[in-house]
Amino acid sequence: MDDRILAMCELSNDLLFQKIPPERMAYYVDGALEAGRAAAGQFRGTDIRTLYQNSGIQIHRGGTGKKGYGVVLRGQATMSPTECSVEVYPDSIDELARHSTWEGRRLTGEEAMDVHLSHEFFHIWEYQQHRSIVEELDPVVSFTFLGLKRRSRINRCGEIAAHAFAKELLSLPCLPNLYDYLYLIDTEKMKRSDFEELCSRMERLLLGQSAQYAVKGGAK
């Protein structure tokens, strides 16, 4: 499945998505994807757990990740000048893995853990490098009043870059936010037809033409 469409799905979760002019969608999607891929290029061939060791990032295993109100966390990163660490919740990562079938193949729990660790590694790596793709990409005009313009950053570009980093580092078949959608579909929290409709809408927005997106794979 096309990285750019899945990146658009992620972008659509940004609070300022409606403020992005349609002709600028590709700028954000492609810029963020490229940042993640380029970062992964520096580390290719090195196991993600080794990268954590080499960078002095601790991995803590937490509980179930259930936080009430139906919120389930897979992990949380802590970034400070004195300590960078990631807390992971193996139960919810295993749960994601169980519902991750894509084109006849399912992630193992360990693979799903690696996806999560790679994603968080990108955020910590950016923090340690004092870099941020969110800051590097142009802001959008989020508010105009009496000729004054407020400009704001598109935060979800950091998520797109982290997905692209994980895909590239682990040679995944797709941008890993697809696994989140597969999980939602498989656990009946989202209809497959709604996801297909979202993909079609994102493709139309990105390419400026009508397109039908058929989502293959999945257990159902």
Instruction: Note the residues at the interface with Zn ion (CB under 5 A).
Output: 159, 162
The C-alpha angle with vertex 195 and arms to 189 and 196, in degrees rounded to 5, equals 145
Residue 145 CB, shortest distance to Zn ion, in Å, is: 32
List Cβ neighbours of 180 (8 Å cut-off, separation of 6 or more): 96
Closer to Zn ion by Cβ: residue 134 or 215? 134
Cβ closest to Zn ion, residue 167 vs residue 215: 167
Closer to Zn ion at the Cβ: 114 or 159?
Answer: 159
Residue 102 C-beta: closest distance to Zn ion, Å: 20
Q: How far is the CB of 157 from Zn ion (least distance, A)?
A: 11
Q: Which is nearer to Zn ion, 137 or 162 (CB)?
A: 162
Closest separation in Å from C-beta 39 to Zn ion: 13
- Looking at the chain, the number of H-run helices and the number of E-run strands are 9, 5
Are the C-beta atoms of residues 185 and 191 closer than 8 Å to each other? yes
- Minimal distance, residue 38 CB to Zn ion, in Å: 17
Nearest-5° Cα angle at 172, 167 to 173: 115
For residues 127 and 213, which CB has a smaller minimum distance to Zn ion in the complex?
127
* Token pair in block for residue 11: 């972008």
Q: Where are the beta strands (DSSP E) in the chain?
A: 58-61, 75-79, 84-88, 140-145, 148-152
